[in-house]
Amino acid sequence: MQDTSVVESLSCESSQWYNHPNPVNRTDDVKLYGESLALGDPLDRLELAIFKEQFIQLLAAPGSEERKLMLNRVEQYILGLRAVKGKVGNVKFRGVNPSQTEIGFGLIRPVFTISQIASPRITWIQNYTVAYANMFCNAAGTAGYGIGASFGLCITHLKSFNTPLPVLSEIQVTIGRSVLLPIDVRNIRMADTENQVAIVPIPTLIATPQNTLWITGRSDTVAATQDEVALGGLVYGLGRALIQTVTYPLL
């Protein structure tokens, strides 16, 4: 079993965690790519216990690169949870099976995204060419799509289910008013050396409720070529949002 001590070391008491402000109880705003994220209430002991137990259960198989990557981003996942928690009224966090009005979490599914392909998307499948094209955007394809009022995303990596070889090569992200520099994701073609999963880390993106998210992408193929690239990370939201399968949780 891969070491999960970094998760187990989280506590509600200490003000420091690995020489950083403790993400569980820090009170200052977090600056991320020019955006200021106001954090919701600190996690109480029960909320933290639920997060620690269920986060470990959500992790990929021991030894996988995805598991290692997610363990490395625990701090950002906690900060993402608290940023979303503050936006939805500081209701209690209850893990993977919250009630309609409690906040929970899970892996990101296509239903939490919008694009010109569908609103919401129900798969990650899309064609790519050498020209940048919308991956996740508003229905018109002219700007970012609005994150719903009752959920948010903490995106830490991309993974492709395309075989035998992914084609996505670069992405560009606009989150709120912040435009990030293009991100080279060609290493996704090298695949996870343990489990042969095509995966690549990206700078952590925290999209809070009612913010906007716009991601475009391109390949190195002139002809339109299909890929199936999923957003890796966690979605946080009220139970009424997390339960959706074909309807975008706008409210």
Q: E strands within 14-95? A: 16-17, 20-21, 30-32, 35-37
Residue 42 or residue 190, greater confidence? 42
Out of 2.40.160, 2.60.120, 2.60.40, 2.30.30, the CATH code matching 107-237 is: 2.60.120
pLDDT in the model for residue 193: 65
Model pTM above 0.75: yes
Residue 196 near residue 119, CB atoms below 8 Å: no
Which residues of the chain form CATH 2.60.120? 107-237
Convert the pLDDT of each residue in 18-68 to its tens digit. Answer: 999 999 999 999 998 878 899 999 999 999 999 999 999 999 877 788 999
Using only C-alpha atoms, the chain has a radius of gyration, in whole angstroms, of 18
pLDDT tens for residues 93-147? 999 999 999 999 999 999 999 999 888 999 999 999 999 999 999 999 999 999 9
